[in-house]
Structure 1
Amino acid sequence: LDLKFNGSSSLNFIPVGKSTNVSLSSTWETPSFDGAFLPDFREITEDGFTTNWNVLHLNRPYPQSFRGAKQGIYQSAFGVKLIVPVDEYQKSMRSAKYASMFITLTFLLFFFVQILNHVRIHSIQYIIVGLALCVFYTLLIALSEHIPFNLSYLISSVGIISMITMYAHSFAKNVRLTKVICGILVLLYLFIYSIIQMQDYALLMGSLGLFIVLGIVMFLSRKIDWYAVQTKEK
Structure 2
Amino acid sequence: VKFIPVGKTTTVNIDSDWESPSFEGSFAANTDSKTINKQGFHADWKVLHINRPFAQEHLEKMPNLNEFLFGVKLIETVDEYQQNERASKYGFLVIGLTFLIFFLIQSISKISIHIFQYSMIGLTLIMFYTLLISITEHSSFTLAYFIAAISVIVMIVLYSFSILKIKKFPLFIGASLTALYTFIFVIIQLENYALLVGSIGLFLILGAVMYFSRKIDWKNN
Same fold (TM over 0.5): yes
- Of the candidates 69, 82, 95, which is equivalent to residue 103 of structure 1? 95
Deviates further, 210-219 or 24-33: 24-33
Give the deviation of 1:155 after TM superposition: 1.8
Q: Is the 8 A contact 2:11 2:47 kept in 1?
A: yes
Say how many residue pairs are matched.
Answer: 217
| CA distance, structure 2, for counterparts of residue 66 and residue 210 of structure 1 | 61
Counterpart of 1:215 (choices 184, 207, 215) is: 207
Is 1:26 aligned with 2:26? no
Distance 1:102 1:211 in 2: 15
TM-superposed deviation, 1:58: 8.9
Whichever residue aligns with residue 107 of structure 2, its letter is I
Deviation of 1:190 (Å): 1.2
2:126 counterpart (134, 145, 150) = 134
In 2, Cα distance between equivalents of 1:198 and 1:16: 39
Q: Which runs of 5+ in 2 are unaligned?
A: none
Residue type of the partner of 1:51? A
For the pair 1:124 / 2:116, whether they are aligned, the reply is: yes
Secondary structure of the structure 1 residue equivalent to 2:162: helix
3-state SS of 1:199 partner: coil
Deviation at 1:184, TM superposition (A): 0.7
Q: Which amino acid is the alignment partner of residue 214 of structure 1?
A: L
Which of residues 131, 137, 151 in structure 1 aligns to 2:143?
151
TM-score under structure 2 length normalisation: 0.79
Q: Secondary structure at the match of 1:49?
A: strand
Which stretch has the larger CA shift, 13-22 or 133-142?
13-22
Give the TM-score normalised by structure 1: 0.75
Q: How far, CA to CA, are the matches of 1:137 and 1:109 in structure 2?
A: 20
Q: Partner amino acid for 1:29? A: E
Equivalent residue, structure 2, for 1:162: 154
User: What's the counterpart of residue 3 of structure 1?
Assistant: none
Q: CA RMSD in A?
A: 3.1
Over the matched positions of the two proteins, sequence identity in percent amounts to: 46
Q: State the secondary structure of the residue aligned to 1:80.
A: strand
1:89 matched to 2:81? The reply is yes
Looking at structure 2, the residues matched to 141 and 46 of structure 1 have their Cα atoms a distance apart, in angstroms, of: 28
**Which residue of 2 is the match for residue 6 of structure 1?**
none
1:191-212 Cα shifts (integer Å, max 9, x gaps): 1222223333322222221121
- Please report how far the alpha carbon of residue 181 of structure 1 lies from its aligned counterpart in structure 2 after TM superposition: 0.8
Cα distance, 1:18–1:122 mapped onto 2, change above 3 Å: farther
**SS of equivalent to 1:79:** strand
CA deviations on 1:174-233 (whole Å, 9 max, x unpaired) are: 10111111111111111122222333332222222112111212222334444x05xx4x
Whole-angstrom CA distance in 2 between matches of 1:171 and 1:67: 83
- The 5-angstrom pairing of residues 176-191 of structure 1 reads 176-191=168-183
Report deviation, 1:102: 1.9
State how far apart, in whole Å, the 2-side matches of 1:78 and 1:225 are: 63
Deviation at 1:55, TM superposition (A): 5.8
Alpha-carbon distance between aligned partners in 1 of 2:153 and 2:112, rounded to the nearest angstrom: 21
Question: Counterpart in 2 of 1:8?
Answer: none
